């Protein structure tokens, strides 16, 4: 039997071992997974945009219809332990990705800070920096490429 002392669940459990509530709490609320992304078909390289899914509430950085999002947006991909380990476009700061890769959460993650606004204060979220995809043609996405915090947001 493993002795974890008082360590938080994300340091002691695998993604598969987490309860539904623990799983959902790994989302830091940055909103970056709800951005439109462009993928180079030849290289697989992902280019980020500042254009968000029509269901993203740009003020809260949360889905406005989370329970029904796949029905409303057919290309919305649900996250599960397998997809978290295989999707190449999850932000490097994503709580799911960090835990899957054996890293700890950043200081600004709400589970660490105790405050859901630290992800915004740290400049990690998309709040105030995005536009909706509504009314936009897919070919116009190339006009909205954006840089988002990289591998080590504490250095940026």
Question: Confidence class of residue 150 from pLDDT cuts 50, 70 and 90?
Answer: low
The pLDDT value given to residue 75 = 87
Residue 9, helix vs strand vs coil? helix
Whether residue 154 has pLDDT greater than 90: no
CB atoms near residue 98 (< 10 Å): 21
The pLDDT value given to residue 5 = 73
Helical ranges in 5-94 per DSSP H:
9-12, 20-25, 69-72, 81-86
- What's the predicted TM-score (pTM) here? 0.87
The pLDDT value given to residue 137 = 93
pLDDT tens-digit series, residues 88-145:
889 999 999 999 999 999 999 999 999 999 999 999 999 999 999 999 999 999 999 9
The pLDDT value given to residue 148 = 81
Report residue 34 as tokens: 């709800």
pLDDT tens-digit series, residues 41-89:
899 888 999 999 999 999 999 999 998 898 888 889 889 999 999 998 8
Question: Confidence class of residue 155 from pLDDT cuts 50, 70 and 90?
Answer: very low
Q: DSSP assignment of 100-153, as one string?
A: HTTPPPPTTSHHHHS-TTHHHHTT-S-TTS-EE-TT--GGGGGGGB-----S-G
Whether residue 21 has pLDDT greater than 80: yes
């Amino acid at each position: 039997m493993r002795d974890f002392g008082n360590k938080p669940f994300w340091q002691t459990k695998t993604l598969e071992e987490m309860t539904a509530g623990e799983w959902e709490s790994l989302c830091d609320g940055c909103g970056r997974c709800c951005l439109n992304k462009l993928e180079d078909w030849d290289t697989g390289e992902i280019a980020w945009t500042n254009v968000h899914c029509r269901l993203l509430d740009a003020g809260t950085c949360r889905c406005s219809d989370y329970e029904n999002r796949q029905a409303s947006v057919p290309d919305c991909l649900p996250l599960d332990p397998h997809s978290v380990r295989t999707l190449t476009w999850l932000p490097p700061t994503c709580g799911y990705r960090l835990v899957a890769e054996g890293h700890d959460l950043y200081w600004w993650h709400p589970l660490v800070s105790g405050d859901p606004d630290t992800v915004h204060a740290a400049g990690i979220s998309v709040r105030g920096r995005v536009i909706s995809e509504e009314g936009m043609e897919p070919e116009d996405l190339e006009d909205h490429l954006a840089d988002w915090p990289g591998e080590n947001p504490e250095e940026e």
